[in-house]
């Protein structure tokens, strides 16, 4: 079996993506004055969501995201009633990261064929995700693009993305601008792979190892397909409660693609020391062992068991854990902040240090 040691070899070049974005971002930012004083852009590109000042001290937080190639696993399983949850989750979890309360999301579904059963199943997941996140879906768009959309199950090719919005008082934005030495990083457990790194997972597990989605894996306690389709956790209820009850929440981080390298997506130039990793979920060990994927790549591509991070001052830690426990969320004190101005992430248990888009061994 060949060694799949990087995401780019599996077909996703995140470093090229980053370097290729500069031209697009330049044009996008040139549009910011067009709305005048009606909706001034409050943040730079790079945060999980941006915020528009819509007057009277109210900010409108906006973000967009999709489900990615998890959709291909859904087609292999012929099971489509959970990917809508993923679409809601990937959007509302990002909205949370600026301290906003998600209120709504619109969806875009591109299909190979407008199959009524397929759309009904996708709708089930969108409904369930919206119910968990306490948001509405006021509309959306369906596009029949047979010449563009293909997939492993003929006639059932589709793509699913969303754009969500939330509200936040302008004076209560949470963007990590006052992080200090000793602030505590609390990691909330993920539900497994969530909606990132499915391209690498499919390459290793389905192509290289030759597993089928129906194969039962003892270490997973379920079939491979069911494990990969586990819906992304929606953290809205507990995080909003933390924001409400803990007046000094410093930073909120959705651990998605780039893994713990998402931590520096804030205003403060500080470093993040991860010194306590909980047990890595079996799905990640399976990918790493079968694909001979190095730690540097695993911790860049995957959440590795932590789906969301809350950073608070030490005196708020107990209250955060109490709220998470009351919401049946498993969480861990995984690290702390160092005010060194370097914007690096160090994962001591694995001997990793990184910044930007890449970890390396130290």
Domains and CATH numbers, the chain: 39-172 (3.30.1330.10), 184-361 (3.90.650.10)
Residues 119 and 114: their CA atoms lie apart, in Å, by 7
pLDDT of residue 1: 39
Distance CA 347, CA 356 (A): 15
pLDDT, one tens digit per residue, over 126-147 is 999 999 999 999 999 999 999 9
First to last CA, the chain: 28
Q: State the pLDDT at residue 104.
A: 98
Picking from 355, 164, 196, the residue whose alpha carbon sits closest to that of residue 284 is 196
Side-chain-side CA neighbours of 217 within 13 Å: the count stands at 21
d(CA 272, CA 180) in angstroms, rounded, equals 11
pTM to 2 decimal places: 0.94
CB 92 within 8 A of CB 105: yes
What phi and psi, each to the nearest 5 degrees, are found at residue 357?
A: -115, 15
Position 332 pLDDT exceeds 70:
yes
Confidence check: pLDDT of 241 > 70: yes
Count of CB atoms situated within 10 Å of the CB of 98 = 25
- In the chain, % of residues over pLDDT 90: 92
Sign of CA dihedral 222, 228, 234, 239: positive
Give the separation between CA 190 and CA 286, rounded to whole angstroms. Answer: 17
Chain-centroid distance, C-alpha 187: 14
Residue 7 pLDDT exceeds 60: no
Confidence tier at 317 by pLDDT (50, 70, 90): very high
* Tokens standing for residue 303: 């959440």
User: Is the confidence at residue 16, as pLDDT, over 90?
Assistant: no
Q: How far apart are CA 330 and CA 189, in angstroms?
A: 6
Expressed in percent and rounded to 5, the helix, strand and coil fractions of the chain are 35, 25, 40
| Contact present, 324 and 188 (Cβ < 8 Å) | yes
Mean pLDDT of 106-122: 97
127 φ/ψ angles, rounded to the nearest 5 degrees: -60, -50
Average pLDDT over residues 258-283: 97
Model confidence pLDDT, tens digit, residues 279-310: 999 999 999 999 999 999 999 999 999 999 99
Determine what percent of the chain is predicted with pLDDT higher than 70.
95
């Amino acid at each position: 079996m060949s060694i799949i040691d990087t995401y780019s070899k599996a077909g996703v070049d995140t470093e090229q993506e980053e370097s290729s974005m500069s031209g697009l971002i330049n044009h996008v930012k040139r549009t910011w004055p067009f709305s005048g004083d009606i909706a001034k852009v409050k943040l730079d590109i790079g945060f999980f969501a941006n915020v528009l000042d819509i007057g009277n001290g109210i900010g409108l937080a906006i973000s967009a995201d999709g489900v990615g190639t998890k959709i291909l696993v859904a087609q292999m399983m012929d099971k489509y009633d959970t990917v809508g949850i993923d679409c809601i989750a990937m959007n509302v979890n990002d909205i949370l990261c600026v301290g906003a309360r998600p209120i709504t999301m619109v969806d875009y579904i591109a299909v190979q064929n407008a199959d009524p059963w397929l759309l009904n199943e996708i709708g089930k997941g969108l409904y369930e995700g919206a119910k968990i996140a306490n948001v509405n879906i006021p509309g959306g768009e369906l596009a029949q693009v047979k010449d563009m959309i293909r997939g492993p199950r003929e006639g059932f090719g589709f793509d699913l993305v969303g754009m969500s919005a939330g509200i936040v008082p302008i004076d209560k934005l949470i963007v990590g601008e006052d992080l200090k030495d000793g602030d505590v990083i609390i990691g909330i457990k993920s539900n497994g792979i969530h909606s990132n790194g499915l391209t690498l997972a499919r390459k290793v597990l389905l192509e290289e190892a030759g597993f089928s989605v129906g194969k039962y894996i003892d270490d997973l306690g379920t079939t491979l397909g069911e494990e990969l389709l586990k819906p992304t956790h929606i953290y809205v209820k507990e995080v909003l409660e933390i924001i409400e009850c803990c007046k000094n929440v410093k930073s909120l981080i959705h651990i998605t693609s780039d893994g713990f390298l998402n931590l520096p997506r804030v205003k403060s130039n500080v470093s993040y020391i991860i010194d306590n990793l909980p047990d890595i979920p079996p799905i990640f060990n399976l990918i790493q062992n079968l694909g001979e994927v190095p730690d540097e790549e695993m911790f860049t591509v995957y959440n590795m068991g932590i789906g969301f991070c809350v950073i608070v001052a030490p005196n708020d830690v107990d209250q955060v854990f109490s709220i998470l426990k009351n919401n049946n969320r498993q969480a861990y004190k995984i690290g702390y902040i160092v005010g060194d101005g370097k914007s690096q992430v160090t994962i001591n248990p694995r001997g990793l240090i990184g910044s930007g888009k890449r970890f390396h061994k130290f």
